[in-house]
Amino acid sequence: MRLLDALAAGEPGIIDLSQPLRDGMPCSPTHPGFHLALARRHGDSVRPDGMTGSHELITMGGHVGTHMDALCHVAVDGRMHGGVPVAIEQGRYTRHGIDEVPPMVCRGVLADVPALRGTDRLAPGEPVTAADLDSALDTAFGGVGVRRGDVVLIRTGWPQLWDDPAAYLGTGSGVPGLDAGGARRLAEAGVRAVGGDTLALEHIPAGAGLGRLPVHRILLQDAGINLIEVMNLEALAATGAREFVFVCAPLRIVGATGAPVRPLALVGP
């Protein structure tokens, strides 16, 4: 109730964790990028009373911008999480689509790894390990810990490169992120979802590209844990909060492997 009272009083506490959608934004070369075009402009058609309307056409992939991965995003030997066989009807997955993910209103915790290491941003290709998670969540910032059903957000500082798409993608240099050991630690903890501030959330070594994504396999296929990627965790980190109310819901696109989200952190006074 203290948090609700603070929000009702207009005190700062609602933090947007998404990146803005715009043409030219960083995007994986394997996904259709974001594009907005005005289909009707003010003045193209004028009503008798002088009123005009305008609207747009938007095209984008389901894994572009801040988005959530559905469980059907990953399969191994033709089977998705829980041994569910891959099945498509009318161009859509019949099981584990993003439309099956309920809205999330739960406890969130932030693992601020750059703060743990005394730097503004992790180096390209730097892994975030199970030991890093233990230190960031249990020791360095007041021992908030991880509980079953939490959403864990992992900060690398990578959004500082958002306005330089080539650097953000890190095609040659690699990208920091969660490694396989860290993913297993979170799966064992029974978290509800894992979010990160990079394109793929997981550790991408220099020159490795996206040919192997072990964290996706561990969390999505093995554990049934949704991923949230391309977040912006800088403003949240600046508050010093390490636990908060997390609010997030993907668009209900039936049978899709992912969808845009606009996650929020509600930080108490």
How do the pLDDT tens digits run along the chain, 269 residues long?
A: 565 666 666 555 899 999 999 999 999 988 999 999 999 999 999 999 999 999 999 999 999 999 999 999 999 999 999 999 999 999 999 999 999 999 999 999 999 999 999 999 999 999 999 999 999 988 544 557 899 999 999 999 999 999 999 999 998 899 999 999 999 999 999 999 999 999 999 999 887 677 789 999 999 999 999 999 999 999 999 999 999 999 999 999 999 999 999 999 999 87
CA 109 to chain centroid, in Å, comes to 14
The string over 60-89, giving b where at least 16 C-beta atoms fall within 10 Å of a residue's C-beta and e elsewhere, is bbbbbbbbbbbbbbbbeeeebbeeeeeeee
Per CATH, domain 2-20+62-266 is 3.50.30.50? yes
pLDDT of 158 reads: 97
pLDDT of 12 reads: 56
Closest of 119, 69, 70 to residue 96, by C-alpha: 70
pLDDT of 140 reads: 43
pLDDT of 141 reads: 43
pLDDT of 7 reads: 61
Q: Rounded to two decimals, what is the model's pTM?
A: 0.93
Q: How far apart are CA 250 and CA 157, in angstroms?
A: 24
